């Protein structure tokens, strides 16, 4: 949990925007290049959008960074609220679909977990797969509203491929947000992944055709999982 000693870091944002955001959420700015020492507790990293080159920098995903927020489309007030929410969790992400898709998000989340609770290589692979499946479901089926590959055929793959490209190019869909919340417990980490799609219902047909295996894979890796908010959010608990 947060100790309150949080700072904002937004290398891709203008100094003016950073000043306004810092005032809106009551959190000081941190600019490493000015020589100020790293704040002891946590740094909330702000990205200016999917074209912010800083987002791909591995160093920004390591401690003391604990939260990563893409400011695209967020008013200063909403951004302030999001930063304060991030402070109440061990790790927190709120990114647009476009940025999350470009970042190989699951691998970065696993690296952030591993930096705090070192994992075996095997466990790291498994966690990456489970988180990747949850993130992919949120991005592809949730936010982009692209249906899975229904049949086992080129036609199904062609349709999936074309729908995905069309939706990623449409800002109405690709600016929808994915939220990831992580909290460490004794011997475990609880991860929630939420999207802004239409939700979904388990229909018991998973694992047929070329799609529908994601939740099955998650269930083999997570200690438990549950679907919340009409299927817009999955909460998974992993033993560490």
Residues found near other proteins in the complex (CB under 8 A): 101, 104, 125-126, 128-129, 132-133, 136, 140, 148-149, 152-154, 156-158, 160-161, 164-165, 209-214, 216-217, 220
Nearer to other proteins, 67 or 146 (CB): 146
Q: Helices 76-86 and 15-25: crossing angle, nearest 10°?
A: 60
Q: Which is nearer to other proteins, 123 or 235 (CB)?
A: 123
Give min distance, CB of 166 to other proteins, in A: 12
Own/partner contacts of 57-64, CB < 8 Å, gap of 24 or more, are: 58/108, 58/111, 60/9, 60/11, 61/108, 61/111, 61/112, 62/111, 62/112, 62/115, 63/112, 63/115, 63/116, 64/38, 64/39, 64/40
The angle subtended at Cα 181 by Cα 221 and Cα 173, nearest 5°, is 95
Residues 6+ apart with CB under 8 A from 225: 215, 218, 219, 234, 235, 236, 237
Q: How far is the CB of 75 from other proteins (least distance, A)?
A: 31
For other proteins, the closer CB: 74 or 215: 215
Q: Considering beta carbons, is residue 64 or 107 the nearer one to other proteins?
A: 107
198 forms bridges with which residues in the sheet?
Answer: none
Residue with smaller CB distance to other proteins, 30 or 160: 160
As beta bridge partners, residue 68 has 45, 93
Q: How far is the CB of 106 from other proteins (least distance, A)?
A: 9
Closest to other proteins by CB, 86 vs 149, is 149
| Residue 137: CB minimum distance to other proteins, A | 9
Please, how many CA atoms are within 13 Å of residue 115, restricted to the half-sphere of its CB? 17
Of 206, 195, 205, 204, which Cα lies nearest the Cα of 228? 195
The least distance separating other proteins from the CB of residue 68, rounded to whole angstroms, comes to 20
CB of residue 46 to other proteins, shortest distance in Å: 25
- Minimum separation from the CB atom of position 35 to other proteins (A): 38
Of 179, 184, 9, give the one whose Cα is nearest residue 113.
Answer: 184
Complex with other proteins: residue 151 or 187, whichever CB lies closer: 151
Structure tokens at 54: 């800083």
């Amino acid at each position: 949990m947060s100790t309150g000693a949080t700072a904002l870091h937004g290398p891709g944002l203008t100094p003016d925007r950073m000043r306004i955001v810092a005032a809106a959420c009551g959190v000081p700015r941190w600019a490493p290049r000015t020589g100020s020492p790293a704040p002891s507790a946590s740094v909330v990293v702000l990205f200016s959008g999917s074209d912010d080159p800083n987002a791909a920098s591995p160093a920004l995903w390591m401690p003391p960074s604990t939260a990563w927020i893409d400011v695209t489309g967020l008013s200063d007030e909403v951004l302030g609220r999001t930063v304060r929410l991030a402070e109440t969790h061990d790790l927190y992400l709120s990114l647009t679909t476009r940025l999350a898709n470009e970042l190989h998000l699951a691998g970065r989340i696993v690296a952030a977990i591993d930096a705090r609770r070192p994992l075996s290589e095997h466990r790291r692979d498994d966690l990456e797969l489970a988180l990747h499946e949850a993130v992919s479901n949120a991005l592809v089926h949730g936010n982009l509203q692209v249906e899975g590959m229904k049949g086992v055929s080129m036609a199904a793959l062609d349709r999936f491929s074309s729908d995905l490209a069309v939706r990623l190019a449409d800002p109405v869909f690709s600016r929808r947000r994915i939220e990831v919340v992580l909290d460490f417990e004794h011997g475990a980490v609880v991860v929630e992944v939420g999207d802004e799609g239409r939700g979904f219902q388990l229909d018991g047909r998973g694992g047929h055709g070329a799609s529908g295996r994601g939740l099955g894979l998650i269930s083999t890796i997570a200690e438990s999982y549950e679907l919340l908010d009409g299927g817009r959010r999955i909460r998974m608990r992993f033993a560490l």
